[in-house]
Structure 1
Amino acid sequence: MAGAEDAGLTRHQAYARAAALEALGRRMFFDPSLSASGQMACASCHDPAHGFAPANALPVQRGGQDMRQPGLRAAPSLKYLQAVPPFTEHYFEADDEGDGSVDNGPTGGLTWDGRMDQRRDQALFPLFSAVEMANENADALAARARQAGFADDMRALYGSDIFNDGKKAAAAIGHALDVFQQSWRDFYPYSSKYDAYLAGRAQLSPQEARGLALFNDPAKGNCGNCHRSSPGNDGTPPQFTDYGLIAIGVPRNAAIPANADPKFFDLGVCGPLRTDLAGKPEYCGLFKTPSLRNVALRQSFFHNGKMHSLRDAVAFYVERDTDPGKWYPRDAAGHVRKFDDLPAQYQGNVNDEPPFGGKPGNTPRLSAQEIGDIVAFLGTLTDGYAR
């Protein structure tokens, strides 16, 4: 859409148009008038003060026409999505990242299951989701945009006839939101203490430095295996994700209403929200590896929001196999129901690379102090650092 309208513009005009689109998308992002309830904006679940993630500790947010409909998954952060590659079932890393001959499996895409590749699609989805902004259709969204005072700007940017076709108007709204989410100052500023450290403008504390070493040590935290902490060979800042999709066996969260049905399972890449890979059991239980940037601002963790402290999230990795009784429920006979949020036939998909592994009673790979060191390091990934 942008290319056709930008054709023939001078550089000054193109910059002016881009600035106007960003401003329009910004206004839309924070305006609850675009929802059927009139109470939910994009920012309701993606608060800038919390890394464009929820400002609360709820495992799932509520929305819909009456603001009572619960979602199925925790709302992810919208920051640092600019470099996410399109979803592929077979990802081979570039030469500057790793061994290009190794198939790293399902990788990329947006949302927890990677089912969307375009940011404008991701931006539009909540506007029509029955558990989020709940617009009945494109015409209803277009009407709400007019009523909310966006008509003049949309006509100026997309043509005087933009509201003649609800689908085109809805696509324009998605495009404006997409342009706003390309604002580097808001969504990928690389302004954390760790970025300052990499640039030689800050020093890590002794605890933070220990945490970084443990984070990268393949025999200890091994976090850097999936959450890459080193700049690319071309100097690009680390994204703290490899964009992969992985099963880690997070415990079932009874606080999610859908989980009241013992037959319901959120299987990630193989359903229920993603349907194109439902016939591939090897993908069941896999969820996106999110960036850890701004992770210390979150109040719930993992796709189901089961953990509510960063320390617990780190400790789960370390103790899942050595102390499963700490994390999983027990059955009537007292046996630990490990991987209780994944049917037995898919439990072989669960990753067991370090720091996972070991047997109950074994010494975990990280001590309590070392867990604290990693948590301290993760705190250096919060944007807005000032010396």
Structure 2
Amino acid sequence: MAGAPAMAVSGGLSRADAYARADALTALGRKMFFDPSLSASHALACASCHAPSAGFSPADAAPIRFGGPHLDQPGGRAVPSLTYIEVTPAFTEHEFDGEEEGDPSVDNGPTGGLDWDGRADRGRDQARFPLLAPNEMANASPAAVVASVRAAPYAGEVRALSGGSDDAALFRTVVAALEAFEQDPATFYPYTSKFDAYLAGKATLSNAEARGLKLFEDEDKGNCASCHRSQVDATGTPPQFTDYGMIALGLPRNPAIPANKDPNFYDLGLCGPYRTDFAGEADYCGLFKTPSLRNVARRKTFFHNGVFTSLRDAVAFYVYRDVQPERFYPRRADGSVAIYDDLPERYRQNLNQDPPFGGKPGDRPALTEAEIDDVVAFLKTLDDGYQPPHAGVSSSR
């Protein structure tokens, strides 16, 4: 960084050298992110599943991706977005609010971490998963990743940043570079949505968007902000539209996921099968992390199992899950609705019942159809890349 003072920082580097190293890691990580040669198939890059055009989530509506050496091994969950994860806190089993946020005596339960079950705390740890997972990039070992790196055009950059050429050091540099790139502000958290412009006084929400924001925050209506926080925090950081908590929604089972063909298989989130340290913890079964809603309208699938491919349908699920369950769940042979069919009955006490959930079949939904449309209109203001209208044109249009 030009003009940076030559002060010593951790690791023995001057501040200027530390900035230079961070910039070099970011540039290297960008090259790796788009490089399919780092996979066993030589056909799958990070960007294959995290498309920039879709908010770094999949570019199509398939619920899972296929990987492996021959791209024939199915994934188990929908691929999450990589935008706005840079301030995600490390996972904790018991999270307490600060005094400025709420009641510091209330235990909010499991919170934080990366992936749908919070099992990685840092970007470099998360980057290891797809590189080594048999159904993703499918490298047999870190050494296999390094072998591909040695043959890549950026091999010299990796060696220079590693300070050596042994496999362990080179692999550490690979995952550190991917982490650095995924923390690049201009790429992954630019805060350029219409809502950010609105917060800065540079845009006006349309009538539908303004109504949607009000419903989003109304505790008796959408109540979305209870988990997808919409206020600037105490440090002045713009809202991330997540509280990083874990929640059980009772989503419909997605038959398009190959693992679900086994009627005895259930993806239980925090308590397995991919995370094992809470296996058998009944209170955590069915809980998945609340994602940020930034860039949500760019996504093609929603929730951990990709069961919805329309943002409006995803919002409607919250409204009608309990009062009109036949909209989402299959019917049994006797005609009854198999509600919450992707969560074993013994774990259904974990289901969230806060508004707009709750009630019983036939009750009035918390939102009308028109109000659902307004919430969706507001959510579309969270996509980055907003361009204010030309002078003389109202920004509410």
Preserved contact between residue 24 and residue 176 of structure 1 (Cα < 8 Å)? yes
Shift of 1:12: 2.9
Shift of 1:235: 1.3
SS in 1 for 2:212: helix
2: distance between equivalents of 1:116 and 1:354? Answer: 30
Alignment match, 1:38: 42
Preserved contact between residue 161 and residue 173 of structure 2 (Cα < 8 Å)? no
Q: Which amino acid aligns with 1:59?
A: P
Alignment match, 2:71: 67
Shift of 1:29: 0.5
Alignment match, 2:5: none
Q: Which amino acid aligns with 1:249?
A: G
Shift of 1:279: 2.2
Task: For 1:225-244, list aligned pairs within 5 A.
Answer: 225-244=226-245
Alignment match, 1:85: 89
Q: Does 1:29 align with 2:33?
A: yes
2: distance between equivalents of 1:229 and 1:320? Answer: 24
Q: Name stretches of at least 5 consecutive residues in structure 2 with no aligned partner.
A: 1-7, 389-397
Shift of 1:99: 1.4
Q: Does 1:210 align with 2:214?
A: no
2: distance between equivalents of 1:5 and 1:233? Answer: 27
1: distance between equivalents of 2:310 and 2:12? Answer: 52
Shift of 1:182: 1.4
Task: For 1:289-308, list aligned pairs within 5 A.
Answer: 289-308=290-309
Task: For 1:277-292, list aligned pairs within 5 A.
Answer: 277-292=278-293
Greater shift in the superposed pair: 16-25 or 27-36: 16-25
1: distance between equivalents of 2:244 and 2:133? Answer: 25
Task: For 1:85-234, list aligned pairs within 5 A.
Answer: 85-159=89-163, 161-162=164-165, 164=166, 166-234=167-235
* Post-superposition CA distance 1:50-106 (Å, at most 9, x none): 111111101011111111111000000011111111111111012222211111111
Q: Which amino acid aligns with 2:341?
A: D
If the length of structure 2 is used for normalisation, what is the TM-score? 0.94
* Post-superposition CA distance 1:18-47 (Å, at most 9, x none): 211110011001100000000000111111
SS in 2 for 1:7: helix
> In structure 2, do the counterparts of structure 1 residues 305 and 260 end up closer, same or farther at CA, with 3 Å as the change threshold?
same
Shift of 1:6: 6.9
Shift of 1:267: 0.3
2: distance between equivalents of 1:11 and 1:90? Answer: 36
Aligned sequence identity (%): 61
1: distance between equivalents of 2:58 and 2:99? Answer: 36
Residue of 46, 59, 63 corresponding to 1:55: 59
Residue of 2, 6, 17 corresponding to 1:13: 17
1: distance between equivalents of 2:185 and 2:60? Answer: 25
SS in 1 for 2:274: coil
Preserved contact between residue 55 and residue 299 of structure 1 (Cα < 8 Å)? yes
2: distance between equivalents of 1:65 and 1:9? Answer: 40
SS in 2 for 1:317: helix
Preserved contact between residue 222 and residue 356 of structure 2 (Cα < 8 Å)? yes
Shift of 1:125: 1.0
1: distance between equivalents of 2:11 and 2:231? Answer: 39
Shift of 1:138: 1.2
* Post-superposition CA distance 1:177-212 (Å, at most 9, x none): 111111111111111000000010100000000000
Preserved contact between residue 64 and residue 257 of structure 2 (Cα < 8 Å)? yes
2: distance between equivalents of 1:229 and 1:10? Answer: 38
Preserved contact between residue 138 and residue 169 of structure 1 (Cα < 8 Å)? no
Q: Which amino acid aligns with 1:14?
A: A
* Post-superposition CA distance 1:200-241 (Å, at most 9, x none): 010000000000000000010000000000101221100000
Preserved contact between residue 194 and residue 386 of structure 2 (Cα < 8 Å)? yes
2: distance between equivalents of 1:41 and 1:364? Answer: 43
Alignment match, 2:376: 375
CA RMSD of aligned residues (A): 1.3
> In structure 2, do the counterparts of structure 1 residues 258 and 230 end up closer, same or farther at CA, with 3 Å as the change threshold?
same
Alignment match, 2:337: 336
Question: Which runs of at least 4 in structure 1 moved beyond 6 Å after TM superposition?
Answer: none
2: distance between equivalents of 1:13 and 1:241? Answer: 35
1: distance between equivalents of 2:170 and 2:234? Answer: 42
Aligned residues: 381
2: distance between equivalents of 1:167 and 1:262? Answer: 42
Preserved contact between residue 284 and residue 346 of structure 1 (Cα < 8 Å)? yes
* Post-superposition CA distance 1:91-150 (Å, at most 9, x none): 101222221111111111110011111110101210000111000111111000111223
Q: Which amino acid aligns with 1:253?
A: N
SS in 2 for 1:354: coil
Preserved contact between residue 32 and residue 38 of structure 2 (Cα < 8 Å)? yes
Q: Which amino acid aligns with 1:176?
A: A
SS in 1 for 2:269: coil
Q: Which amino acid aligns with 1:299?
A: K
Q: Which amino acid aligns with 1:168?
A: A
